[in-house]
Structure 1
Amino acid sequence: MSLRPLFVTQVYEASLADTSGFELLNESLLDLIAMLASEDTAGRVWCRSHGYRGYTSYGSLNDLPRRFPEFAELKRHLDRHAAAYAKALNFDLARKPRLDNLWVNVLKPGGGHTGHIHPHAFLSGTVYLAVPDGASSLKLEDPRLPMMMARPAVHADAPEAERPFVYLAPAEGTILMWESWLRHEVPPNAAKAERVSISFNYA
């Protein structure tokens, strides 16, 4: 007997922590994000109206790499990783993946982000800047879940690839990328400090 693993969902994981100058870049980005959280009035209004516990620039700023050289430097790193991921997925592309948008996320204790996908993109991801003890993992959902009908539950020790949900716990500097159709969420932040990340889409 043999089993053939078909239609595999590949999630990309890498780290900027080993990159030269990461600590300085990370510190600079955290300072900029604190400034944005304080001064981005439109972003704070968006967060209040959408019940976002913390701050995100998602609904207010779409040009961070043009505004700040630190975000432009981050973009250069992300561009390389997106190209490597697309190559690993065997995508037949006419051009390299292009960063479509990028936004910051500051989740206060208790804050989370319900399940969602990223329309109008084909690669999405997050890079993590501050991950205090107890901070939320990224929760990924098996894309076949709505079609499983009478499928039995799996054993608690089932391999990761066979579980209906997988939780990925990032560290500072971790980059996670996935195909944009993959449903994911951020459970409530159980840390006593803010969880800070930057999310992005490639189209």
Structure 2
Amino acid sequence: MPKLKSLFATRLYHAPLSEHGPAIDPDELANSCYSIAQDDDAGQDWCEEHGYPGYTSYASLTDLPWRFPIFADVVKSLDAHVAAFAEDLEFDLGDKELKLEDIWINILPEGGVHGSHIHPHSVISGTTYVAMPEGTSALKLEDPRLPFMMAAPIRKTGVREELKTFHSVPTEVGDVLLWESWLRHEVPMNMAEEDRISVSFNYAWG
């Protein structure tokens, strides 16, 4: 009998943000995101210059936990989630820690997309969800081996989860997703009339 096993696993962490750290009021967090977006002229200018739909603070603000206490509470929760994920991944971190490198707001209006990308200078990346209106897009993950499948046939309909080429992750407000930063991901077009709001982040080693 042949022996079959799965190798080179790609791990995905999915949990309620409230499982660790202070309780976060999603309405307060959403209002804080809008308030920051309204006042962030540099971020608005960057989005306009680069054709970014909606708003992101990625290129303009580096001090969200200082600006609004609720973001400091979010980071406390994220630190604990990232530590749990690093334990699951069996990282040998030595005498260094995984530390927050960047945290930013994403407000994606109807019709907005966020193209496929990776976060090459980080170890763990993730998103926590602030507003997910009915019909909005789920995060889409790509099999990291895809560029090497030059002559492979497509997968059958109903293929097992671990063999899918792409995987969409349904999430709710208050969820947090974590993945290793080399994993390619995207946000397909937001088909809902309301804004899709999330807070994304990177953790680096040392």
Same fold (TM > 0.5): yes
The CA RMSD over aligned residues, in Å, is: 1.4
Task: Tell me the amino acid that sits aligned with residue 147 of structure 2.
Answer: P
Q: Superposition pairs for residues 163-182 of structure 1, below 5 Å?
A: 163-182=164-183
Task: Tell me the amino acid that sits aligned with residue 92 of structure 2.
Answer: D
- Give me the whole-angstrom Cα distance separating, in 1, the residues matched to 2:100 and 2:20: 20
- Structure 1 segments of 4+ aligned residues over 2 angstroms from their partners: 16-22
- Give me the whole-angstrom Cα distance separating, in 2, the residues matched to 1:16 and 1:176: 9
Deviations 1:143-184 (A, max 9, x none): 000001111111110011101100111110110110000000
- Give me the whole-angstrom Cα distance separating, in 2, the residues matched to 1:21 and 1:123: 21
Aligned twin of 1:39: 39
Q: Which secondary structure state, in structure 2, belongs to the residue aligned with residue 52 of structure 1?
A: coil
Identity %: 49
Aligned twin of 1:116: 117
- Give me the whole-angstrom Cα distance separating, in 1, the residues matched to 2:157 and 2:129: 28
1:52 aligns with 2:52: yes
Aligned twin of 2:14: 13
8 Å Cα contact 1:107/1:189 also seen in 2: yes
Q: Which secondary structure state, in structure 2, belongs to the residue aligned with residue 167 of structure 1?
A: strand
Shift of 1:10: 0.4
Aligned twin of 1:183: 184
- Give me the whole-angstrom Cα distance separating, in 2, the residues matched to 1:17 and 1:79: 12
Unmatched tracts of structure 2, length 5 or more: none
TM-score between the two structures when normalised by the length of structure 1: 0.95
Q: Which secondary structure state, in structure 1, belongs to the residue aligned with residue 182 of structure 2?
A: coil
TM-score between the two structures when normalised by the length of structure 2: 0.94
Aligned twin of 2:160: 159
Unmatched tracts of structure 1, length 5 or more: none
8 Å Cα contact 1:143/1:183 also seen in 2: yes
Q: Which secondary structure state, in structure 1, belongs to the residue aligned with residue 4 of structure 2?
A: coil
Aligned twin of 1:81: 81
Q: Which secondary structure state, in structure 2, belongs to the residue aligned with residue 72 of structure 1?
A: helix
8 Å Cα contact 1:54/1:108 also seen in 2: yes
8 Å Cα contact 1:17/1:172 also seen in 2: no
Task: Tell me the amino acid that sits aligned with residue 157 of structure 2.
Answer: A
- Give me the whole-angstrom Cα distance separating, in 2, the residues matched to 1:56 and 1:178: 20
Shift of 1:21: 6.6
Q: Which secondary structure state, in structure 2, belongs to the residue aligned with residue 98 of structure 1?
A: strand
Task: Tell me the amino acid that sits aligned with residue 15 of structure 2.
Answer: A
